[in-house]
Structure 1
Amino acid sequence: MIEWSAEDLMIRDAVRGWIDAQVRPRLEELESGELPPYDLIRDLYKTFGMDEMARSSFHARAERAEAGDDTGREEDGARGGNAAMSMLPIIELCRVAPGLVSAMGVSLGLAAGTIMKRGTAEQRRRWALDLLTFEKVGAWAITEPNSGSDAFGGMQATAREAGDGYVLNGGKTFITNGPYADTIVFYCKLDDGRDPRDREILTFVLDRGMPGLEQTRPLRKMGLHSSPTGELFLDDVKVGRDRLLAAGSGGGKESAKQNFVTERAGVAAMSLGVIEECLALSVDYARKRELWGQRIGDFQLIQLKLAKMEVARLNVQNLVFRHIEMQKAGRTPTLAEASAMKLYSAQAASEVAMEAVQLFGGNGYMSEYRVEQLARDAKSFQIYAGTDEIQVTHIAKDLLAR
């Protein structure tokens, strides 16, 4: 794949039209936190029939499972079988409000994705379908205040067996959708007396309002203001075994690693949206802004900035195209491949956005010109889903193991 097809471009233009009508006029409300993003995302889903596609794919998978064929198709419900319909909304939304994609992606790709991969048929029906259609909002809770990049080893949240169920305790932070989530996929360690770093990691599904579960108000942060982020506190939350996700090998740790692949590969599409918007804004500004009697686009230093932005756009777009081709071929990137995609694209988006701010000069530092917001948002790509430093580790370990 070297370019978008005519059908892809029709989808892109339709999504872009919806964004221009529904998102851009509400950007200030989203940035201020006054408007949670979820009704906008639901409108996107209904407008383009994404909810019905997800529902149809979910039921088709359930029928396959009943017939004994339930392998290799975990993400059908989220994608609806159309790679462009999956990627293009991400790219276009990230040109305007990357936080919307974070909110949507965590609910669908991580919360629903984990339940679809690791849940029983009953658990999928109980929790995943409403997430896939975005009737409910999901959160994926793994990060803790004292673990960060050491997500597994430093995890302190616990599950203690009690009677026919478990009692959960602990806290999570930096949880996307945490303040508003209806359904929470919660990672913790089995409290079985072993050394904490050696304990088994379990994954549970929680519902808003359960006794002992506290979801805090949104945290204040540097960027991604249109994506609410919060903390979770669990104080003796009692859960039955029906809430434990146990299917598949490797337990909760393997489940989380699979989700890291999905999340990191998706950052390439998010980065492309930011790069495209920063480049378009910069080209337009370079044509209109004049200094010393000529437009600034005639100066070679400005031309160098624009040329480097275009190189970054082409490179990241090619990563997105490669990922789409892998999806079509039924192949999932390795953790190292996904890490490489994320490392390069996140750095490229952040660099392009900061160069756009520099190109705009004093205006670039003002929120009115939007590159200020995009620069703040792009920086988050180098931190969440694993910092740049963690991506380097995963890439290098894979190379050295060959």
Structure 2
Amino acid sequence: MIEWSSDELMIRDAVRDWVAKEVRPHQDALDSGEASPYPIIRNLYQTFGMADLAASSFDKRIAREKAGEPVKDKSEGSGPDAGASFTMLPIIELCKVAPGLVTAMGVSLGLAAGTIMKRGSVEQKERWGRDLLTFDKVGAWAITEPDSGSDAFGGMKSSARVDGDGWILNGNKTFITNGPDADTIVFYAKLDDGRPVRDREILCFVLDKGMEGLVQSRPLRKMGCHSSPTGELFLQDVRVGRDRLLAVGGSGKESAKQNFTTERAGVAAMSLGVIEECLRLSVDYAKSRVAWGKPIGDYQLIQLKLAKMEVARINVQNMVFRHIELSKAGRTPTLAEASAMKLYSAQAASEVAMEAVQLFGGNGYIAEYRVEQLARDAKVFQIYAGTDELQITHIARDLLSR
């Protein structure tokens, strides 16, 4: 794949028009936290029929599972997916304006709903999956803790203690996307069975907002991505039954690793949106801003910045195209491949956004010119879904193990 097809360009333009009408007018309110992202995401779903597609796909999958038939399409029922391009294009266009919208949507669909659809029983999928996939309800995926950021598994302290035919959950999660507002929470904890903490089995449960002992904090103040509410979760003696344990298809640890792969590959599309917007804004500004009697685009140092932005755009776009081709071939990237995509694209997006601020000079530091927001928003790409340093470790371990 070397360029978007005519059908893909039609989808892109339709989404771009919708973004211009429904998102751009709310940029400031989203960035200040005054506007909630969820009504806008639901608008997207209704406008493009994504909710109906998700519901129809889900119902067909569940009917087959109940009949004992194999699911023909592995993506069926796990989201409103009409192909990887359909998934990537809205991400790219939304990230040109408010990357936090993609973060909020991606965690709810890809991580919370995705985990339930991969690991849950038919009953659990019907109970929680459908409403998440149609975005009637908001989901959160709770693994990160105050003392276990990159060491998510080994440093995890949240516990699940057997109590009769269920468990008692205790623990504290932080940096949880959608945490303040989530209706459904996929929660990871270690089985309290007397073994050393780092050796304990990791279990995965589904929680509902309002359960006794569960507290969802107010949104945390952040550097950027304000259109994606982030909070903490506090669990004190939360009683859960076996109906809330996700056990089908593997361990909680394996489930989380698969989600890391999906999340990291998606960062490339998010990064491409930021890069494309920064480049567009920078080119326009370089043409119109006059210094010493001529447009600053005539100066070689400004040309160098624009050239480096274009190189980054081409490289990240090629990563996105490769991901689409892998999906068409029925393949998902390995954890190392996804880590490589995330490492490069996240760094590229942050560097391009900061260069855009520099190109704009004093105006770049002012919110009105938009590059200031994009620079703040892009920085988190190098932190969430695993820091740059963690990506390096995963890539190197894979290379050294061959």
Report the TM-score range of the alignment, normalised by the length of the smaller protein. over 0.9
Whether 2:338 is the aligned partner of 1:338: answer: yes
> What TM-score do the two structures reach when normalised by structure 1?
0.98
Q: Which residue of 2 aligns with 1:361?
A: 361
Alpha-carbon distance, 1:76 to partner: 4.7
| Deviation of 1:61 (Å) | 1.6
Q: Say yes or no: does 1:83 pair with 2:77.
A: no
The code of the aligned residue for 1:367 comes to A
Query: Which residue in 2 is equivalent to 1:192?
Result: 193
Residue pair 1:157, 1:169 contacting (<8 A) in 2 also: yes
Contact 1:278 1:353 in 2 (8 A): yes
Q: Which residue matches 1:228?
A: 229
What is the identity, as a one-letter code, of the residue corresponding to 2:110? G
The structural deviation recorded for 1:16 is 0.7
Query: How many residues align structurally?
Result: 401
**Deviation digits for residues 164-187 of structure 1, max 9, x if unmatched?**
111000000000000000000000
SS at match of 2:146: coil
2:312 aligned partner: 312
Q: Report % sequence identity.
A: 75
SS in structure 2 opposite 1:188? strand
Amino acid at match of 1:153: G
Q: Give secondary structure in 1 for the equivalent of 2:219.
A: coil
Matching residue of 1:245:
246
Do the aligned residues in 2 keep the contact of 1:74 with 1:116 (CA within 8 Å)?
no
Paired with 1:122 and 1:36, the residues of 2 have a C-alpha distance of: 31
- Secondary structure in 1 aligned to 2:338? helix
CA apart distance, 1:72: 6.5
Give the Cα separation in 2 of the matches to 1:166 and 1:68: 33
Q: 1:17 to 1:334 in 2, by over 3 A?
A: same
Q: Is structure 2 residue 164 aligned with structure 1 residue 163?
A: yes
Partner of 2:5: 5
Specify the code of the residue in structure 1 equivalent to 2:247: A
List gaps (5 residues or longer) in structure 2.
none
Q: Deviations over 1:128-154 (max 9, x none)?
A: 110000000000000000111000000
Q: Which residue of 2 aligns with 1:105?
A: 106
Q: Following TM superposition, by how much is the alpha carbon of 1:77 offset from its aligned partner in structure 2, in angstroms?
A: 3.0
Aligned to 2:185, the other structure's residue is in SS state: strand
Local SS of the residue matching 1:53: helix
Question: What pairs with 1:13-32 in structure 2 (closer than 5 Å)?
Answer: 13-32=13-32
2-side partners of 1:330 and 1:122: how far apart? 27
Aligned counterparts of 1:316 and 1:61: Cα–Cα separation in 2: 34
CA distance, structure 1, for counterparts of residue 340 and residue 56 of structure 2 = 34
Match of 1:146 in 2: 147
Cα separation, 2, equivalents of 1:299 and 1:202 = 58
Does residue 61 of structure 1 match 2:54? no
Residue 80 of structure 1: CA displacement? 2.3
On the 8 A contact 2:2/2:321 being kept in 1, the answer is: yes
1:116 matched to which residue of 2? 117
1:206 aligns with 2:170: no
Query: TM-score, with normalisation over the residues of structure 2?
Result: 0.98
Deviation at 1:82, TM superposition (A): 2.2
Maintained 8 Å contact 1:74/1:117 = no
Correspondence for 1:47: 47
For residues 367 and 194 of structure 1, the distance between their equivalents in structure 2, rounded to whole angstroms, comes to 52
| 2:168 paired with 1:180 | no
Structure 2 letter corresponding to 1:239: V
Contact 1:75 1:113 in 2 (8 A): no
Partner SS, residue 147 of structure 1: coil
SS of the residue corresponding to residue 79 of structure 2 reads helix
Give the whole-Å Cα distance in 1 for the aligned partners of 2:68 and 2:157. 41
